[in-house]
Chains A and B, each alone.
Chain A
Amino acid sequence: MDMTDTKFIASPVPAGACAALEIAGVRKDFESFSALRDIHLRVNPGEMLCFLGPSGCGKTTLLRIIAGLETQTSGQILQNGKDVSWLPPERRDYGIVFQSYALFPNLTIADNVGYGLVNSRARRAQIKARVSELLTLVGLPTSAHKYPSQLSGGQQQRVALARALATRPGLLLLDEPLSALDALERIRLRGEIRRLQKQVGITTIMVTHDQEEALSMADRIVVMNHGVIEQVGTPMEIYEQPATPFVADFVGKVNVLRAVALGQQRFKVGDLELQCDACDGAFAPGDAVNLYLRPEDRMAENLREDTANRMSVLVSKVEFLGGLCIAEVTAQALHGQTLGLHFSLNQLHDLDIREGNTIEIALRANRIRAFAAPAARTVA
């Protein structure tokens, strides 16, 4: 593979290694719309990849195409170099876990986990050993004789995971595995799935609409919208260097400021001039842009006279949320545009941030991202 090709540099695998899964030009058309258009993607061996996007973005369709449960309109899927594009599900190599658990309600936990093993004609003792090994792995060693309805949602999903792993597949597909669980169990199982995945070392694709889930679990995230991939990158890349306004908006919270480019990474917002070090897009002076800034990307302490993007702002509202609060600030110089900024509760006290007070802040020049303003807004 050409090392100068920047498309896949984020992959931690050495060049030339066979991708665990390769999706080439996959397209899915329904009667009235295209669910997926020209998807290209490489999944590296052993990595955990998350498809993240709003509902209807095509992430689940893509997962079901990989599983052979839906048929792509065109395009190719290679698993370990082998073309599986048109194979029925049972001739592909994967285990799958669904949001609904899909446990067989009339079979015991042990029978559920051993469901795929019985068919592979393994010996009874071997099956039993494998089942108890898997149940131990997912932390349910004593539940073998119970029925699914006797377990909590999180426990059932663990069993589904064990069942999917039982036949030692080369690929694990997780279709919103945590969405049906309550908040606490979701967080607990999140860590557990990640631990298991690393321990087993299985290449995993997870579909989710929950950004926190994706950020905390994935090696790489694939952000999708309207049937196309918006960005592929590590969680940190996705959060800190969103490639498109959609990604900036969808992942994490963000403030948007209307601005006009002045050239040389400087922008005019209202009467203020802001420095923006990280803007790789070249804008001609006079271009209308939107500046994207995350709520935590402000400085409020140890400001010097020459700190870039320094301004004094009026606190118009403080939203108390517990340990971390949001202060809405505005300035006349901003021409009515407001910013929501994160402050810890202690900072609120220490810096005397209250409604009606004026405070000194600076926006981090290396954090501001600039994107061309959508055409419609420029006209307006």
Chain B
Amino acid sequence: MNTLAHTPPAPGAPAMTPPAAYRRTGMRWSRDEIIARGVLLAVMAMLFVFLVAPLVTILAHAVQDKDGRFVGLAHFITYFQTPSLLRAVWNSVWVAAAVVAISVPAAFVFAYALTRSCMPAGLKAVFRLIALIPLLAPSLLSAISFVQWFGNQGALKFLLGGVSIYGAPGIILSEVYNTFPHALMILVTAMSLTDGRLYEAAKALRTRPMRQFMTITLPSCKYGLISASTVVFTYVVSDFGAPKVIGGNFNVLSVDVFKQVVGQHNFSIGAVVGMLLLVPSIVSFVIDYVVRRKLKAQLTARSVPYSPKPRKVADTLLLMFCATVCALLLAIIGMAVYTSLITLWPYDLSFTLKHYRFALLESDMAAAYTNSLAVAAVTAVAGSFIVFVGAYLIEKTRNLGMMRPTMHMMAVLSMAVPGLVLGLGYVMFFNHPANPLGFLYQTMTILVVSMIVHYYTSSHLTAVTALKQIDNEFEAVSASLKVPFIKTFFRVTVPVCLPAILDIGRYFFVVSMASLSCAIFLYTPDTILASVAIMHMDDAGDIGPAAALASLIVVTSVVVCIVYSLLTRVLLTRTQAWRLLGRT
């Protein structure tokens, strides 16, 4: 007899009919779940205190007068009625647009050459490495170099034909240099995601190369181009280093914040400018976020990677283009290094190490380099730990409810906040006499925390990607085996994700080594960082020591990257033996 079971059991069947069976009861939390939620709450509290609260404080300052009375939009109205202030908005926007118009197409061609041409693979690797060098340099470096090339005593000043490099031209050139690798990385990713079979199909239909480019290549890079443009635009609007050095009297928003707050102690207008700086960041951040999702969805699991066919003319032209770009990029970094090694441009070109001696030993900012090293090292270690633990907990804990979206939102919000705005928020929030965390102000700790928070998003996304790649059921399996999740975390999850964790650490090191905008509001003479010192030296006319310090930052990051990759190679062959073993 078959037994239909969707009727409820007959009354009288034991243990089947207690009314409690239908009562809704909450699942009791186990010790594991309490620990997971506790740690996650701690990470969220950190992001709240060091990201959300400072932002809210800026907003509060923007709508209050000096005595804390609410004045509504009065400061905004004042701001928009002051033509000199308003001009900075326009300047920031058109300069950023100009940089997008140069940097993105150049990066597009470069990325096209790297992914779609038949240049020798070794040459591609070299081009790529050279193109990524600007990532390691503080944004001041390019500005200093352009001053040396095209400034009042510039080697190539005659090329400008009377136009001064100080102002918009200098900012645009420096920012093109600074943003080029950012745009390049996004576009290379976008182009390597194209399904090679589309081209095979096009070829089978005898589509001409130009039409292939217009109908397949461009559309498939659409999101990459949008994403690269927004990233570049935001970078330029919020960058402080280059306009400070080479901007002259050309006012832009980022320098305005600095002037208002540090120069005139006008916190209200500073807050208004801070809020304005936040606008393009948040807009482009939203665009970028939406677009990146589409970019990911574009590639199906069955896509076939595109493998380029040799085209003699096109390949040669692309090679020449890449070589020219790399030569220009090297000329910038080269000029900075050269300046740091000669006595005085252009009068005494004799070799000397005195600038290094001055920057590291004799200057009253001599502690800057070691401070930067310490901050970068601590940020790398603490940052990768916090970020990975946070990402792990929101990815692998069940039933988090509202905690998951809240944490995720804070984690990605950090990318939308320019360092300058974050630093401003810290000044206003932690400097407040009533803040119990005020003791942190003017310490190395707050510098480290600001770096971790400022660069949280990319690291978080890297960690999430790595975590998504490992099996989702590890936690379920260990629970069924009665093994606490913490043990599985350290014994399995961390070792499996080690490459990603190491990547995050290196990223934190490199970016905090060169970061200026966040620290500019937070340093003291004791905790001054190298990038801040470069700015002051440049202000004081000590171009040589400034160039020396900037070169040191680049060299340090290069050395760290090399040591890092050697170390990780050793570490990975020790701990990741299982990865290399195929099926026997």
Chain A interface category by residue count: 35 or more
| Contact (Cβ within 8 A) A67 B8 | no
Q: Residues of A contacting B576 with CB < 8 Å?
A: 106
Q: Report which residue of A6, A78, A88 has the largest number of chain B beta carbons within 10 angstroms of its beta carbon.
A: A88
Asked if B33 CB lies within 8 Å of chain A CBs, one says yes
Q: Report which residue of A148, A229, A238 has the largest number of chain B beta carbons within 10 angstroms of its beta carbon.
A: A229
Interface 9-residue window, one of B214-222, B452-460, B468-476 = B468-476
Q: Is the interface of A mostly helix, strand, loop or mixed?
A: mixed
CB proximity to A under 8 Å, residues B544-584? 575-579, 581-584
A102 and B27 CA atoms in complex are apart in Å by: 25
Asked if B347 CB lies within 8 Å of chain A CBs, one says no
Q: Residues of A contacting B28 with CB < 8 Å?
A: 86-88
A104-B474 contact, Cβ under 8 Å, with A41-B5, A76-B20: yes
A238-B481 contact, Cβ under 8 Å, with A67-B476, A76-B20, A149-B582: no
Asked if B24 CB lies within 8 Å of chain A CBs, one says yes
Interface 9-residue window, one of A92-100, A202-210, A260-268 = A92-100
Task: Kindly identify which residue among A88, A106, A120, A237 contacts B492, using a CB–CB cutoff of 8 Å.
Answer: A106
Asked if B403 CB lies within 8 Å of chain A CBs, one says no
Asked if B309 CB lies within 8 Å of chain A CBs, one says no
Asked if A314 CB lies within 8 Å of chain B CBs, one says no
Q: Residues of B contacting A147 with CB < 8 Å?
A: 577-578, 581
Q: Residues of B contacting A86 with CB < 8 Å?
A: 25-28
A75 and B470 CA atoms in complex are apart in Å by: 33
| Contact (Cβ within 8 A) B15 A81 | yes
A40-B15 contact, Cβ under 8 Å, with A88-B32, A147-B581: no
| Contact (Cβ within 8 A) B24 A9 | no
Asked if B491 CB lies within 8 Å of chain A CBs, one says yes
- The distance from the CB of B16 to the nearest CB of chain A, in whole angstroms, is 5
| Contact (Cβ within 8 A) A102 B479 | no
Q: Residues of A contacting B14 with CB < 8 Å?
A: 1
Task: Kindly identify which residue among A9, A102, A149 contacts B477, using a CB–CB cutoff of 8 Å.
Answer: A102
- The distance from the CB of A200 to the nearest CB of chain B, in whole angstroms, is 16
Q: Residues of A contacting B472 with CB < 8 Å?
A: 100
| Contact (Cβ within 8 A) A100 B473 | yes
A5-B578 contact, Cβ under 8 Å, with A38-B8, A98-B473, A102-B473: no
Asked if A350 CB lies within 8 Å of chain B CBs, one says no
- The distance from the CB of B481 to the nearest CB of chain A, in whole angstroms, is 3
A68 and B32 CA atoms in complex are apart in Å by: 14
Q: Residues of B contacting A104 with CB < 8 Å?
A: 474, 488, 491-492, 496
Asked if A89 CB lies within 8 Å of chain B CBs, one says yes
CB proximity to B under 8 Å, residues A263-293? none
Q: Residues of B contacting A229 with CB < 8 Å?
A: 4-6
Asked if B398 CB lies within 8 Å of chain A CBs, one says yes
A8 and B16 CA atoms in complex are apart in Å by: 13
Q: Is the interface of B mostly helix, strand, loop or mixed?
A: loop
A233-B3 contact, Cβ under 8 Å, with A71-B27, A71-B399, A100-B471: yes
Asked if A197 CB lies within 8 Å of chain B CBs, one says no
| Contact (Cβ within 8 A) B5 A232 | yes
- Per-position binary interface string of chain A over residues 80-120, scored 1 when its CB falls under 8 Å from any chain B CB and 0 otherwise: 01000111111110111010111011110000000110111
Task: Kindly identify which residue among A9, A25, A230 contacts B22, using a CB–CB cutoff of 8 Å.
Answer: A25
A8-B3 contact, Cβ under 8 Å, with A86-B27, A105-B578, A106-B576: yes
Q: Residues of A contacting B484 with CB < 8 Å?
A: 90, 119
Q: Residues of A contacting B583 with CB < 8 Å?
A: 149-152
Q: Which residue of A lies closest to B7 (CB)?
A: A7
Asked if B2 CB lies within 8 Å of chain A CBs, one says yes
Q: Which residue of A lies closest to B483 (CB)?
A: A119
A256 and B462 CA atoms in complex are apart in Å by: 55
A303 and B417 CA atoms in complex are apart in Å by: 86
| Contact (Cβ within 8 A) B483 A116 | yes
Q: Residues of B contacting A73 with CB < 8 Å?
A: 24
Asked if A178 CB lies within 8 Å of chain B CBs, one says no
- Per-position binary interface string of chain B over residues 373-409, scored 1 when its CB falls under 8 Å from any chain A CB and 0 otherwise: 0000000000000000000000000110000000000
Chain B interface category by residue count: 35 or more
Q: Which residue of A lies closest to B487 (CB)?
A: A119
Q: Residues of B contacting A241 with CB < 8 Å?
A: 2
| Contact (Cβ within 8 A) B3 A115 | no
Asked if A196 CB lies within 8 Å of chain B CBs, one says no
A2-B13 contact, Cβ under 8 Å, with A106-B495, A150-B581: yes
| Contact (Cβ within 8 A) A90 B7 | no
A97 and B474 CA atoms in complex are apart in Å by: 11
Asked if A34 CB lies within 8 Å of chain B CBs, one says no
A51 and B577 CA atoms in complex are apart in Å by: 39
A289 and B22 CA atoms in complex are apart in Å by: 37
| Contact (Cβ within 8 A) A5 B13 | yes
Asked if A10 CB lies within 8 Å of chain B CBs, one says yes
- The distance from the CB of A103 to the nearest CB of chain B, in whole angstroms, is 8
| Contact (Cβ within 8 A) A228 B6 | yes
| Contact (Cβ within 8 A) B579 A149 | yes
Q: Which residue of A lies closest to B471 (CB)?
A: A102
| Contact (Cβ within 8 A) A148 B2 | no
Q: Residues of A contacting B300 with CB < 8 Å?
A: none
Q: Residues of A contacting B12 with CB < 8 Å?
A: 2
A89 and B30 CA atoms in complex are apart in Å by: 9
Asked if A219 CB lies within 8 Å of chain B CBs, one says no
- The distance from the CB of A133 to the nearest CB of chain B, in whole angstroms, is 17
Asked if B311 CB lies within 8 Å of chain A CBs, one says no
- The distance from the CB of B169 to the nearest CB of chain A, in whole angstroms, is 54
A230-B495 contact, Cβ under 8 Å, with A74-B23, A119-B483, A119-B487: no
Q: Residues of A contacting B32 with CB < 8 Å?
A: 88, 90
| Contact (Cβ within 8 A) A2 B10 | yes
Q: Report which residue of A7, A9, A67, A118 has the largest number of chain B beta carbons within 10 angstroms of its beta carbon.
A: A7
A41 and B8 CA atoms in complex are apart in Å by: 9
A167-B22 contact, Cβ under 8 Å, with A22-B15, A105-B496: no
Q: Residues of B contacting A67 with CB < 8 Å?
A: 476, 480
Asked if B9 CB lies within 8 Å of chain A CBs, one says yes
| Contact (Cβ within 8 A) A91 B30 | yes
| Contact (Cβ within 8 A) A150 B582 | yes
Asked if A48 CB lies within 8 Å of chain B CBs, one says no
Task: Kindly identify which residue among A88, A92, A105, A150 contacts B584, using a CB–CB cutoff of 8 Å.
Answer: A150
Asked if A163 CB lies within 8 Å of chain B CBs, one says yes
- The distance from the CB of A292 to the nearest CB of chain B, in whole angstroms, is 14
| Contact (Cβ within 8 A) A74 B481 | no
CB proximity to A under 8 Å, residues B492-512? 492, 495-496
- The distance from the CB of A61 to the nearest CB of chain B, in whole angstroms, is 14
Q: Report which residue of A41, A76, A229 has the largest number of chain B beta carbons within 10 angstroms of its beta carbon.
A: A76
Asked if A164 CB lies within 8 Å of chain B CBs, one says yes
A147 and B580 CA atoms in complex are apart in Å by: 10
Q: Residues of B contacting A102 with CB < 8 Å?
A: 471, 473-474, 476-477
Asked if A69 CB lies within 8 Å of chain B CBs, one says yes
| Contact (Cβ within 8 A) B492 A167 | no
- The distance from the CB of B543 to the nearest CB of chain A, in whole angstroms, is 52
Q: Knowing that A9-B3, A67-B476, A102-B474 are A-B contacts, what are 4 other residue pairs whose CB atoms are under 8 Å apart, sorted by A's residue number? A: A25-B8, A74-B22, A86-B28, A90-B32
| A interface residues (Cβ-Cβ under 8 A, vs B) | 1-2, 5-10, 22, 24-25, 38-41, 67-69, 71, 73-76, 78, 81, 85-92, 94-96, 98, 100-102, 104-107, 115-116, 118-120, 146-152, 163-164, 166-167, 169, 222, 228-233, 237-238, 241-243
Can you spell out 20 A-B residue pairs with CB atoms less than 8 angstroms apart? A5-B10, A38-B6, A40-B8, A40-B16, A69-B476, A71-B27, A89-B476, A101-B471, A102-B474, A104-B488, A104-B492, A115-B478, A116-B480, A119-B483, A149-B579, A163-B477, A169-B480, A237-B2, A238-B2, A243-B4
Give the top 6 A-B pairs by smallest Cβ distance, nearest first. A116-B481, A88-B30, A76-B21, A89-B479, A147-B578, A102-B473
